[in-house]
């Protein structure tokens, strides 16, 4: 059966803090993971209810720091249905060793978390030369590198994109540009400019679909422009569940509504095809 829908940005949280101790980056657990956590079993049920065939589960750095054990255990339970995206201390001397360790545990993607709800601002990690060995190791292993960052880090990212042109880089939440002013979206020009790097991919999440329906923005004009600049084969969808409020069914329905104007082929790339390029474990 051809895969119809893949989610590349769900999170899972275990209630078992003895087996999976809390150790959030920044020292503060994210509010969503404390108030509305979803276990692996709950997420599997949500997948079934929403018609999600497969997923690349993203480790919650604001819950577990660099201990990816819960995601690794989940992937071991359902290796044909889910992949895992892990995080390491990319500046540590043993970063390459840790990357290989989590790959050996069955995880198929790396995430670098440089900003977030409990870590406001932009960490300077992307311009630190200590990042280079781990970044190279990830590329050598064929991993996609997902980066959560702000636009302030674009100059640093561009240097890495040039130095490692064959390593796919996924930008979380499309960098969350300000698009409320509507077309031609001058507040998103920094995003469109990244299209010149062929190894840049965009993660379209529920945050983006919601914002494309606010103010003067419309899904047709904004996502139409994004697809024109990048191509649908460089865009993949992620739910951001349960960090984003609302049911997974509502989140999926919102995605489908927002991309309904696209061709069936472009819709397939965003809903499944691009994810299978980035996470080969999820290929049919």
Q: Is 191 a member of any domain?
A: yes
Q: Is 136 a member of any domain?
A: yes
* Domain of 158, in residue numbers: 9-282
**Mean pLDDT calculated for residue range 39-58:** 97
Q: Is 1 a member of any domain?
A: no
**Mean pLDDT calculated for residue range 8-23:** 96
Query: Tell me: the pLDDT tens digits for 183-196?
Result: 999 999 999 999 99
User: What is the domain count for the chain?
Assistant: 1
Q: Is 174 a member of any domain?
A: yes
User: pTM of the prediction?
Assistant: 0.96
Of the pLDDT bands very low, low, confident and very high (cuts 50, 70, 90), residue 162 is very high
> Who wins on pLDDT, 30 or 221?
221
pLDDT computed for residue 69 by the predictor: 98
Query: Tell me: the pLDDT tens digits for 227-265?
Result: 999 999 999 999 999 999 889 999 999 999 999 999 999
CB within 8 Å of 279: residues ≥ 6 apart? 6, 8, 56, 83, 108, 109, 144
CB within 8 Å of 238: residues ≥ 6 apart? 7, 8, 9, 10, 58, 203, 204, 205, 206
Q: Is 225 a member of any domain?
A: yes
Of 247, 242, 280, the residue nearest 54 (C-alpha): 280
**Other beta carbons within 10 Å of 28:** 12
Which 3 state secondary structure label does DSSP give 27?
helix
Side-chain half-sphere CA neighbours of 51 within 13 A? 13
Q: Is 105 a member of any domain?
A: yes
Q: Which phi-psi region, left, alpha or beta, contains residue 241 (left: φ > 0; alpha: ψ -120 to 50)? A: beta
Q: Is 131 a member of any domain?
A: yes
CB within 8 Å of 234: residues ≥ 6 apart? 195, 200, 201, 202, 274
Q: Is 73's pLDDT higher than 80?
A: yes
Q: Is 17 a member of any domain?
A: yes
CATH of the domain at 57: 3.20.20.140
Query: Tell me: the pLDDT tens digits for 16-44?
Result: 999 999 999 878 888 888 899 999 999 99
pLDDT computed for residue 115 by the predictor: 74
Q: Report the distance separating Cα 60 and Cα 130, nearest Å.
A: 23
Structure tokens at 244: 């984003």
| Beta-bridge partners for 85 | 58, 109
Of the pLDDT bands very low, low, confident and very high (cuts 50, 70, 90), residue 118 is low
């Amino acid at each position: 059966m051809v895969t119809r829908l893949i989610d590349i940005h769900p999170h899972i949280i275990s209630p078992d803090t003895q087996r999976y101790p809390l150790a959030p980056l920044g020292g503060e657990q994210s509010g969503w993971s404390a108030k509305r956590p979803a276990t692996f079993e709950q997420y599997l049920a949500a997948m079934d209810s929403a018609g999600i065939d497969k997923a690349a589960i993203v480790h919650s750095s604001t819950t577990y720091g660099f201990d990816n054990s819960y995601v690794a255990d989940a992937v071991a339970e359902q290796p044909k249905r889910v992949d895992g995206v892990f995080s390491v201390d990319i500046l540590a001397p043993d970063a390459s060793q840790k990357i290989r360790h989590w790959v050996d545990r069955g995880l198929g993607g790396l995430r670098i978390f440089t900003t977030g709800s409990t870590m406001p601002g932009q960490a300077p990690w992307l311009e630190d030369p200590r990042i280079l060995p781990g970044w190279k190791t990830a590329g050598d292993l064929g991993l996609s590198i997902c980066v959560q960052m702000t636009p302030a880090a674009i100059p640093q990212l561009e240097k890495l994109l040039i130095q490692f042109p064959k390593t796919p880089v996924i930008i979380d939440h499309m960098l969350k540009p300000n698009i409320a002013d509507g077309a031609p979206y001058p507040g998103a020009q920094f995003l469109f400019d990244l299209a010149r790097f062929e190894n840049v991919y965009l993660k379209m999440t529920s945050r983006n679909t919601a914002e494309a329906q606010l103010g003067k923005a419309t899904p047709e004009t904004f996502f139409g422009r994004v697809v024109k600049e990048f191509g649908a084969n460089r865009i993949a969808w992620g739910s951001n569940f349960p960090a984003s409020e609302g049911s997974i069914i509502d989140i999926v329905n919102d995605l489908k509504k927002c991309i309904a104007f696209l061709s069936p082929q472009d819709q397939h790339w965003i809903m499944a095809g691009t994810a299978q390029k980035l996470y080969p474990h999820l290929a049919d």
